[in-house]
Structure 1
Amino acid sequence: MKKISAKISLFILIGIIIAACNAEKRVPKGKQLLASTQIAVNGKKTNNEDIHEQLYQKPNSTLLGFRLRLNLYNLANLNPDSTYQAKFTNNPGKYERKSKWLSAKQVDRLGKSFWYHGIHDFLKKTGEPPVIIDSTKTKKSVARLKYYYFNNGYFDVVVNSKHDTIKPKRGKIEYEITTNNAYLLDTITATISSPQLDSLYKTAKENPLIKPGNQFKTIDFSDEKNRLSNYFRNHGAYYFQPTSIVYDIDTIGKKNKANVNIKIGNNSYQDKDSTKTEPYKLYKISDVAIYTDFKPNTNKQNITDSISYENFKLYGIEKIKYRPKAITDAIFINKGNLFADYRTVLTSRYLSNLKIFNAPSIQYEIVKKDTLNNSLIAKIYLTPRKKYSFQASSDFTHSNIQDFGISFTPALTIRNIFNGAETLEISARANVGSSKDLANPNNQFFNVSEYGVDMKLNFPRIFFPFSTEKIIPKSMIPSTQIGIGYTSQKNIGLDKENFTGIFTYNWNPKQNNTSRFDLFNIQYVRNLNPLNYFNVYSSSYNALNEIAKTYNINPNYVDANNNLIIDKGTIGFTNDALTLNTNLTPQDPAYKEVLSITERRERLSEDNFILASSFTFSKTTKKDLKDNNFYQFKAKIESAGSLLSLISKTIGLNKNNAGNYKIFNLEYSEYGKAEFDYIKHWDLSRQNVFAFRSFFGIAVPFGNSDYIPFSRSYFAGGSNDNRAWQPYSLGPGKTESLLDFNEANMKIALSAEYRFKILGDLKGALFADAGNIWNVFDNVTDEKATFNNLSSLKDLALGSGFGLRYDLNFFVVRFDFGFKTFNPADESGKKWFRDYNFAHSVLNFGINYPF
């Protein structure tokens, strides 16, 4: 009853606050607040955003129908300084009394404090002043609406406005638009003064953006002008500008039709004090000069070294430090080719991608000795970056493993290390931390540590014994990366040494498309403290301990409280149980659970050796960071161990008792893996976005393995997955999720999110996440955890909730509250909305959006 009373009181209080807000508080006498605007097109009301954007005045923004920002603004004191001074003007003795125990300077400074001044500045900045109806702006809105429809082919459009009073201080504006019939394009002709452009136009007009029968749209004419200009400039017309294209549109004697004549004049240029014109010419590249060590801030550019290489000329103020091919491979401007803008852009992009130069400068000069006056010299100025650069960063961390941690990450970059524009990156990381959960007999504060080193060598080409130019041309900006790494952990989990190696090719088949081929991806994981397993995976220990309390018969395995001793008791009891030296039989559920716990312990505590190859392809239509109407697709195929199996069979290696091969006295992993990730965003206007993500991944063991290594398996839950579950706590299937780190070899994930603006840079989201993980084609036999057929999809878990995001421009801080909406593991029979309350919600903190 108390809870109900508290909720009722809360709702009443909120109602009083809302009712107390006066939207017209700051509306001057004789003026009206713009309560609403309506636009009717040919008698039908429209909410089209493009049309409403033409209005100079719009009502104050609302949140769920409430003018939150307007009311925040109304709460602010617009003149806090005057109000503060008035306190003392009306009561002089008050100033003297305050000055005695604060000082006059502090009293004056108090007026600038947050409570007297800052809070009102915040309310004014966060809030929104009332939108007052202005007849001048209404007329400007009418004119802009006419212009909008005129640009879309409605030359006879009629727009009227109407001002209605709702209350003495509230009004609304209604706009009536009668479009009449739109004009269509009829005949399209062209008048071109320059003969060489006239010849180019005959091939350029194959894919025009303005065609007979299309509705007249100004944007189409602008896009066609840019298309033609780009075409001409990519086919030799060096001096051509879009301003040379003029449209002559004739509607005389036509009923809702327009003839279009495309006029392209000659080149107009300034010669001293007079303006001259001449036909446009098509220019060829006669020479390409590359200045390898240009100094932009000095006039001393004395050339002391030069090299001629395959129609390129390289110059250096000092001795040239680069192999010519390393530079010329990045140049797409070739001697004898017509001038082309796209070659300039591609060259600049490739040179910047080398990461050894600052942004290049590419200039063209007319060859004065050429009698035809249609030759260009391309001059490419390169300013080298420093050969050595050093960076370092440090962090203070807190996690469920470390109560306190300090990390330090230094990095060294060496450019042009082999004189072929290669880049070597060497980075190290060191972390020391404190964890009170660990056994700490020496009472050391820093009892957790991790350190590692990575080296990456980047080649700006495909590093291969044979030429790959025909398969992967240099226009795809190919590169090769060779990397090795080592990491060591102490007092973290089972303690590990992790050795990695990678040999990767990267290239861009098309703009916004990327391809990556990992020829070799090697990982060797060595567990240094496998006996610590039951200290780390406490849920496995608790489950085993409960069984032992019933079936253990060896008193040496337990302590005074009858709990299994780690590691003597846990290993001893599992060995007794599995060798049938207890009362357990293979038919007992408890026996199967002990077997499952043992298999999991052996899998998670054993060393892993993985030699994999993979291919990854990704595509996106996203134009920039502000683009909210795009899709992304990523696919990855990976194969591991097959090469090692082929070698093992070829050289005739013997298999061990388990029927598997060993390399370096270690069973290697063998599996095939495929992943597909698709993201789609829809811009719903006014900073409202609907986002969708789907993911499917499966890894199938075969040959030398009957399960997937932990580092290559899937988990569910977390801030970027199903947000109603903690990481690793969901699945597999409809199991109870009692283990610490639940994983499997197949995953399905679906997420949908509606994002909207709340207040300034504060944004909100409503989301729903569905998905789960399963075991399939591996050694797990638990029916609840395996994916058998499409009927297993009924075990998809559903989480829903809401989130808050604050946009800091360079990244977004995110808080999400997830609620278990459908829990397939709930055996009570009530799987829907059983834990749908804040007490069982999951708070997720993240940086940037989840997808």
Structure 2
Amino acid sequence: MGFLFLVMYKNRKLFSIILSHKIFLSAIAFQLLLNVLNAQVLIEEDIPFEINNIELIGNKSIDSDILREVIISKETPSGFSQFIYNSISDKLGSKPEFFNEDIFTEDAVRLEKYYRSNGYYHSIISSSFIKDSAKKTVDLLFTIKENHHSYVDSVTYVGLDSLNPVLKGKLFTDAVIKKGMPYSGNKASAEIARVLNYLANNGYPTARFDAENSYESEFASSQNFMLKFVFTPGKYYIFGTQSVHIDPPRPDIYNRLFLRHLDFQTGETYSREKITSSERNLNRLGILETARIDHGTISDTSQQTTIPIDIYLRPRARNELSPEFIISDEGGFFNIGIGLGYTNRNFLGDARIFDTHIRLRTQDIQRWDFNNVFGGKGLKDLSVRGAVELQFQIIQPYLITRTLSATWTSTISAEKQQPYILSILRNKIGFNKQFATFTNGYFDWTLERVSPEILQDTLNTQALLSALREEDQPQFNSIFTVTIQRDKTNDLFSPTSGFFHSISLEESGILPKILPGIRSGLPFTQYYKVSLFGRWYQDLTWRRFNILAYKLRSGYQNKYGDSRSSDVRIPLNRRFFAGGSSSVRGWNARELGSMPTDLIQLGGNFIFEGSAEMRVSHFQGYGNIWFIKLENIVGVYFLDIGNVWKDISDFRIKDIAVAAGFGIRYETFFGPFRIDYGIRMYDPKGETGHKTIFQKRFLNETLSRGVFHFGIGHAF
């Protein structure tokens, strides 16, 4: 029994030991499983959520696109864009946008501050988000309750009583914020800047805004605002003596050449604006590399009320011989050429400029038929277009007054078009008058001898040959042209806002008619021409990302007097042509017209054109790939309409051609380099049933017949 008990006891102990080991191992396994599960949960929790969608609701007065620019949270880009970013280059595509709850909370505060700055002081912004754990995405929602828009009950200006009544009266005529207007913090800031700028341009350069004693007070009853602006004008100052510093000095340049181009005189009221405009005048002279106007620090503690002016000038080389490489889209063609120019700056003194150059340029060389060119026909082949010219020009920058300048230009040129060569001898005297900051007037008197040479061996139709025989006579015309232009665009090469308007009136024949003694014996044409042109620009995004640009152009010319009944024609080089890189881009240059196809290259007497472009900076904010700045690349999507008619009486709506397409611009310091591809949306000369894009086969009849255009500068 004792032995059996002992065995049983030992077995129980062994069983207990084995059981304990199993429990221990199970506990370890369970703990390991918990650790794995916890680690998986932690890993999943560490994976950030991408922002799938940002929705704003309740905003009635402020556009959602503007509010999206206010917040930092952004929607994540498409999967393809992320793939490009991660797999190919971080310069291309876009990185994913992840959710940050702290930033999201601050975004609501940013929106509230933005609404307050625009007069919605009682707006309420609430925010929420919904996470999708399976997709690891989050949707953000901002709910906006705009409430009452506060208005301005009164505006008080303090500290300006020392101004003379006339100056004070003019100050308030252009106020940015007035009683009864919706209140906006941005407008209040703009009004402060306007007053300070006005004072600085009227003798008070040390004027300042007293922020401590100024305030905006809200009425509890109406929730409108009373504004109080406190200013300290400081002392009244006038312009002092002017000192000119020329580096390096030149014996042929003296101070009076530059002082007469200043918009201010010693003793006149100080104006910061006049200093800026005077710098602009000096830099436009053409004989200076740089011009800068400066003065010492102005302090109210000074006993002086005059401000001495220092003018720092760096002249350009007096004589310059320069080779030229020409790329342009003049005449709607892609022009490539070479030239050699010589410039004498300060020619015979008086800041006068003498300039001469010889230039040779090809037009649309990519369309030349080189088999014919080198096969016998040479440069007289129908496909060859180009020009050569020798020009002499004298520019007189100051004529009687600083706002009036003059030019005298003499040109000898030969222009080759498809069936003819025009030999032109031209002498032109021009005057340029600046009427206002943005408005200029031009008056030109041109004496022009035009001699056409008809290339009969290149002609392929009897109709064209008959028409050209009527053109085959030299002419000597006296032409007067008056042009008024108003340019309020914000950039010379790539404007994003503003407009440009131009009207031009041209007359030929009146001078030889009333003074028969000056006639050369050659025929002349009595005709008149009216040309209208306008272009407009608008930034749709407030950050130069999406620019809408559009233009309208129209022109009409006709003979008058004795020329109406004679067989003399308006010169070929004075007619209207359509098609090309700056016209209706579904056609090549001078290949669009309502007249019979054979006669299109002879031009017309009435033109109407319109264009709209959307210029999108797709790579804004991106870096560089080698030497290419991605943010300089702009995508363009355009729609062009227009045509040219033999006479205005021939105009028909159904004859207006329509083209559309896309292009690329690359911004450079001399303007954007341009490539466009245009297709014909509506061809008024198409076969019946094949006029519109919807009636043609897209690949074989539309895309394959599209036209590429190259050029420097935007199309308009």
Please state which band the TM-score falls in when normalised by the shorter chain.
0.7 to 0.9
- Aligned partners of 2:177 and 2:191 also within 8 Å: yes
Aligned counterpart, 1:641: 509
- Aligned partners of 2:154 and 2:179 also within 8 Å: yes
How far is the alpha carbon of 1:374 from its aligned partner?
A: 1.8
Moved more, 335-344 or 754-763: 754-763
Change (3 A) 1:758 1:362: closer
Matched, 1:709 2:663: no
Aligned counterpart, 1:849: 714
Q: Give distance in 2, aligned partners of 1:839 and 1:697.
A: 35
Matched, 1:751 2:705: no
Q: Deviations over 1:421-461 (max 9, x none)?
A: 111112122569995424767999x9999643211111112
Moved more, 214-223 or 426-435: 426-435
Q: Deviations over 1:193-230 (max 9, x none)?
A: 88458995465234322322222211112111111112
Q: Give distance in 1, aligned partners of 2:327 and 2:298.
A: 61
Q: Give distance in 2, aligned partners of 1:365 and 1:429.
A: 48
How far is the alpha carbon of 1:129 from its aligned partner?
A: 1.0
Q: Give distance in 1, aligned partners of 2:291 and 2:635.
A: 42
Q: How do 1:134-533 residues align onto structure 2 when only pairs under 5 Å count? A: 134-166=100-132, 167-192=134-159, 195=162, 201=168, 204-242=171-209, 247-251=214-218, 255-265=222-232, 280-285=234-239, 287-291=240-244, 293-295=246-248, 321-322=253-254, 324=256, 326-364=257-295, 373-394=304-325, 407-430=337-360, 435-438=370-373, 451-462=388-399, 474=402, 477-488=403-414, 494-518=420-444, 520-527=445-452, 530=454, 532-533=455-456
Change (3 A) 1:437 1:673: same
Q: Deviations over 1:731-760 (max 9, x none)?
A: 234x3x145725211111122334445566
- Aligned partners of 1:323 and 1:419 also within 8 Å: no
Aligned counterpart, 2:457: 534
Q: How do 1:101-120 residues align onto structure 2 when only pairs under 5 Å count? A: 120=88
- 1:69 pairs, out of 50, 57, 81, with 81
Aligned counterpart, 2:524: 668
Aligned counterpart, 1:797: 656
- Aligned partners of 1:290 and 1:382 also within 8 Å: no
- Aligned partners of 1:366 and 1:373 also within 8 Å: no
Aligned counterpart, 2:484: 617
Q: Give distance in 2, aligned partners of 1:479 and 1:813.
A: 32
Unpaired runs of 5+ in structure 2? Answer: 1-43, 621-629
Percent of residue pairs identical: 17
Aligned counterpart, 1:600: 467
2:397 corresponds to which letter in structure 1? P
Find the residue that maps to 2:286 and give its secondary structure. Answer: coil
Find the residue that maps to 1:215 and give its secondary structure. Answer: coil
How far is the alpha carbon of 1:149 from its aligned partner?
A: 0.9
Q: Deviations over 1:94-131 (max 9, x none)?
A: xxxxxxxxxxxxxxxxxxxxxxxxxx23xx21111111
Q: Deviations over 1:314-371 (max 9, x none)?
A: xxx77574483x4332122212222122221222121111122343332346999x99
Q: Give distance in 2, aligned partners of 1:817 and 1:490.
A: 26
Q: Deviations over 1:160-188 (max 9, x none)?
A: 21111245222210011223323322232
How far is the alpha carbon of 1:816 from its aligned partner?
A: 3.7
Q: How do 1:121-132 residues align onto structure 2 when only pairs under 5 Å count? A: 121=89, 124-132=90-98
Find the residue that maps to 1:125 and give its secondary structure. Answer: coil
Q: Give distance in 1, aligned partners of 2:118 and 2:154.
A: 18
The alignment yields a C-alpha RMSD, in angstroms, of 3.9
Find the residue that maps to 2:214 and give its secondary structure. Answer: strand
Q: Give distance in 2, aligned partners of 1:788 and 1:318.
A: 61
How far is the alpha carbon of 1:251 from its aligned partner?
A: 2.9
Moved more, 194-203 or 169-178: 194-203
How far is the alpha carbon of 1:642 from its aligned partner?
A: 1.6
Q: Give distance in 2, aligned partners of 1:619 and 1:679.
A: 11
How far is the alpha carbon of 1:769 from its aligned partner?
A: 2.5
- Aligned partners of 2:572 and 2:602 also within 8 Å: no
Q: Give distance in 2, aligned partners of 1:739 and 1:830.
A: 22
How far is the alpha carbon of 1:151 from its aligned partner?
A: 0.8
Matched, 1:683 2:558: no
TM-score, structure 2 normalization = 0.79
Aligned counterpart, 2:641: 770
Aligned counterpart, 1:276: none
TM-score, structure 1 normalization = 0.67
1:504 corresponds to which letter in structure 2? G
- Aligned partners of 1:362 and 1:380 also within 8 Å: yes
How far is the alpha carbon of 1:668 from its aligned partner?
A: 1.9
Q: Deviations over 1:673-725 (max 9, x none)?
A: 01111223343327334333221111102334653211111122222222222
1:437 corresponds to which letter in structure 2? N
- 2:74 pairs, out of 44, 58, 76, with 58
- Aligned partners of 2:537 and 2:547 also within 8 Å: yes
How far is the alpha carbon of 1:231 from its aligned partner?
A: 1.8
Change (3 A) 1:193 1:620: closer
Aligned counterpart, 1:39: 56
How far is the alpha carbon of 1:242 from its aligned partner?
A: 4.9
- Aligned partners of 1:721 and 1:749 also within 8 Å: yes
Change (3 A) 1:672 1:323: farther
Change (3 A) 1:395 1:222: closer
How far is the alpha carbon of 1:144 from its aligned partner?
A: 1.1
Change (3 A) 1:768 1:671: same
Change (3 A) 1:349 1:682: closer
Find the residue that maps to 2:121 and give its secondary structure. Answer: coil
1:534 corresponds to which letter in structure 2? D
Unpaired runs of 5+ in structure 1? Answer: 1-26, 77-119, 267-279, 296-316, 545-595, 654-662, 777-786
Change (3 A) 1:330 1:54: same
1:73 corresponds to which letter in structure 2? Y
Q: Give distance in 1, aligned partners of 2:576 and 2:385.
A: 27
How far is the alpha carbon of 1:526 from its aligned partner?
A: 3.0
Corresponding residue pairs, total: 637
- Aligned partners of 2:207 and 2:232 also within 8 Å: no
How far is the alpha carbon of 1:615 from its aligned partner?
A: 1.0
Q: Give distance in 1, aligned partners of 2:387 and 2:438.
A: 37
How far is the alpha carbon of 1:481 from its aligned partner?
A: 0.9
Moved more, 498-507 or 624-633: 624-633
RCO comparison, higher one (Cα < 8 Å, 6+): 2
Change (3 A) 1:633 1:217: same
- Aligned partners of 2:637 and 2:663 also within 8 Å: no
Q: Deviations over 1:6-57 (max 9, x none)?
A: xxxxxxxxxxxxxxxxxxxxx9963222111011226x69753221211102
- Aligned partners of 1:429 and 1:452 also within 8 Å: yes
Aligned counterpart, 1:659: none
How far is the alpha carbon of 1:763 from its aligned partner?
A: 4.7
Q: Give distance in 2, aligned partners of 1:367 and 1:832.
A: 68
